[in-house]
Structure 1
Amino acid sequence: MKDRDASPEPGAQEKVQPGYLGPTPPPGRPPAKGQRIYVERPEQLLDAVEILRTAPIIGVDAEFVQGRSRLLGENGPSHRLALLQLAIDGQCFVIDAWRLADLSPLAVVTENAEISILLHGAGADLHVMAERGLNVAHYFDLEAASRSIFGQNESSLAAMLQRAFGIHLDKSLQRTDWARRPLPPAMVAYAARDAEMTLALYYWLDEHYHDILVLHEYVGELEPVADWIEPFLRGSSSLPAELAVAEARAKGLLSEEQIYADCRAALLSLRHPMRRSRLLRLIADLSLTGLAPELQALLKAPTSDERAAAARALGRLGHQSSREAIRSLLQDPVYDVRKAAQSALRTLNSSPRPLTAQPTRLTDGARSWTIGESDDAASDSDWKARLRSLMDE
């Protein structure tokens, strides 16, 4: 039994120094101001498309306003596209999506897998573009790439432009009303600049961090994994991992050997850092201690996402043999990794407290599960014990 009076893990109680502490390449030369073309008529859009369709790389940014989502129904709040800015070398087209009802001519650009679309924080921009019928076949997420290198608090466009070019990015118009018309020239220039800077940042990242940048390239379908794993990588599972897998095992749909084999195969096939990080969390959720050696190797992964996720997972798995390797991450250049290492060391140095899942029947007859400490001390309230008994049947 673990000695509760053991001295604290060295470094586990110390305050973690914030910020990125590693080296940074010399600042690059800020991009020269190019031609900015405002597009508000259909014939202007067709002219822009003729130029854009020949570009190999396009920096894209979007401005939107609060509205209603066609995808979520009339009652679903969403964002409506107001402007779409597309920057190529020497030119930036500012598309007035508020005035142009039909953006379909742009589909030959966005759906061309030979053209790389550059986005800084892809989620919202992809969503508002898709609502206007513009699906992106090939893109890079520069925010995610920056996060993998420098950490979550260092990955905004403003922070990255300061690091890459020594430029202070004015965000004073970020929350302005993009539905107003006519747009003042200052707002058009503000919108164009973000797309231009996204293009410039791509070149800087490609020069200095190419190997990590390409990990955040998305082309077509994601890497295949076992069907039961995919919902956890998408964050779309309606059940806690341990409960979902236990139910599948109780129904004879999964065996312990298959679970291990599928997770090992996913570790080998997945390349996107976010999906790999979610897989490591799934492994910890399922207490797959047999995979700890593979996870320990990821403490030296090139991306901060994986190093942090591996440290957290090993701590939750109680893998004492990883203690020294985790402790070395207290000196990692990325703050997120240092915090994850400290948390993992605290977990390894403490006795785990059992988690319980309390089922609550909702008005529609479904059950929701709240995970935490239970007030009921009865043995059958220990959800992990119940689930393990199901898995062993």
Structure 2
Amino acid sequence: MDGDEAKKFVIIGSGPTALGAAYRLNELIHSGQLPSSTEVLVIEKEDEVGGLARSVTDRRGFTWDLGVHVTGFSKFEKFTNVINRAVNQWNNVPRCVKAYMRHIVEDDDHVEVNYVPYPVQDSIPYFPTDIKMQCLEEISSASTPVETARNFDEFTLYTFGPTLQEIFIRPYNEKVWTVSLAEMNCAWVENRVPRTCMEDLKRRCRLTRQELDDEENGKTKSMFRYPRNFRGIGEVWRTIASELPAHWFHLGDPVIGIDPGRREVILSSGERTTYDYVISTMPIVELGRMSGLCPNINLRHSKVVLVGIGMRRPQPEFTEQLSWLYFPQPDIIFYRCTFMSNFNERLTPNAVLFWSVLVEIGMAVDDPVDEEAIIECTIK
């Protein structure tokens, strides 16, 4: 920034990223690195801060995060410091994640046997012998370099082979992303798709189911953190926002246009506000369209519908230690089910009497949302 003249920053959105920007600007003002007369305006279309990381409490007293938001170790020290300042006590929750593979591993007498540890590529030893050996052979003999993959379909085929791709990778990811894997690039997969250790996989393929379970149960579980005394992760962002000047926030008024020439942001209320710098956390396609700078960005997106279900105890013992489950089957409407009440005792109206799950359903952006039908299909 030029000189010592005070500038005006407009931040669009109030999710974690936007609040991080506002928090940093506040630090710079208080440290004297920005003039005390610097103006900051955070514009949020909803009536509260948090963006897509908000939490809502329904009329029955169950609290639901808008999506599943947990935190673990972060390499970003500033993020860790800010979030630890907002949250004085954390639950350290053991990460226990499984995938429902009943179409491959079927046991009607012992329901828990139908679930295998995630990632599924490391659970090939749990498969029936013929499928297990086929997957092992395909991964071992894979010869096409993944660097030559032109899309996500080819990447998963070259990495995991056709059998594993067919029984889990493709159906699960198509439920999540709502498009065929061939329509997705693979530039994003580095560090996002776990690879397998072949030597360990071969060793474990010689073990019995009981030996596999014993080994799995003996592992040191990775942990994630969830606020202990908050009703949902959304309270974290409200706490952070409360440390900033209240007059910085303009809520319940969506941005409908941006005029880069005049350096103005136009709101649905008709109000216009000028800026020297704008920090946007809205979807990049919307930003391009509203500003006129890139009106035809060729990027696609999907949407996620959430259904929260509160239930009376007792809770099935199998689910008491679970974090979430993945479901690749096309006849099951949701792709993930998270056991919210396992994270925090304050997410239900009474932790002694109730427990809760939150399911996520991927839909194409233009798909109609029939709430009653979706709820009925989810419960069924």
Give TM class, smaller chain: under 0.3
TM-score by length of 1: 0.21
Q: Which has the higher helix share?
A: 1
- Report 1 or 2 for greater relative contact order, CA contacts < 8 Å, sequence distance ≥ 6: 2
